[in-house]
Amino acid sequence: MPLVRIEIKKQQDPTYAKRIGQLIYAAMRSSIGVPEDDNFQILAEHDEQHFIFDPGYLGIPRSDKLVIIQITLSEGRTVEQKKLLYKTIAESLNAELAVRLEDVFINLVEVKKENWSFGNGVAQYAL
């Protein structure tokens, strides 16, 4: 049920954004129990004028390699599950793609289950 948006600065490697998405999907599967095949992602690369961020907000030094991740998902995860998700994503991006931990920005947007339609004009999760 998650919808993942990944925003990065334009890269020379055309597979970079997709590899980030694969790692995020694996992290969601292992840390918050996302089912197999529940993988919907929007990958966007931006030029310098369209990728704006504060390089030091909250005392965290960010670089041009910043990865902004927004995950919309059904409500119900515990704070501990969310913390594990953040940690798992950041550590896997760091280990596999050398993304600095400081450059992993994650935002979760929780919605009620009836706010999803996966096709056919039907609210598949509505009770």
Give the domain CATH number at 76: 3.30.429.10
pLDDT value at position 59? 98
Give residue 112's pLDDT band: very low, low, confident or very high (50, 70, 90).
very high
d(CA 29, CA 114): 22
pLDDT value at position 99? 98
Tell me whether residue 124 is in a domain. Answer: no
Average pLDDT score over residue span 67-90: 97
Output 126 or 18, whichever has higher pLDDT: 18
User: Above pLDDT 70, what percent of the chain?
Assistant: 100
User: Which residues are within 8 A (CB) of 63 and not within 5 positions of it... i.e. 6 or more apart?
Assistant: 55, 100, 102, 103
Average pLDDT score over residue span 50-55: 97
Residue 61 in 3-state DSSP? coil
Look at the chain and report how many structural domains it folds into. 1
Q: Is 2 a catalytic residue?
A: yes
Which ranges constitute the DSSP H helices of 3-78?
Answer: 16-32
d(CA 101, CA 27): 15
Q: Could you tell me the residue range of the domain that residue 65 belongs to?
A: 3-115
Does pLDDT of 127 surpass 80?
no
pLDDT value at position 115? 93
Tell me whether residue 125 is in a domain. Answer: no
Tell me whether residue 12 is in a domain. Answer: yes
Tell me whether residue 126 is in a domain. Answer: no
Give me the catalytic one of 2, 35, 55, 61: 2
Question: In the structure encoding, which two tokens stand for residue 81, read together?
Answer: 């599950």
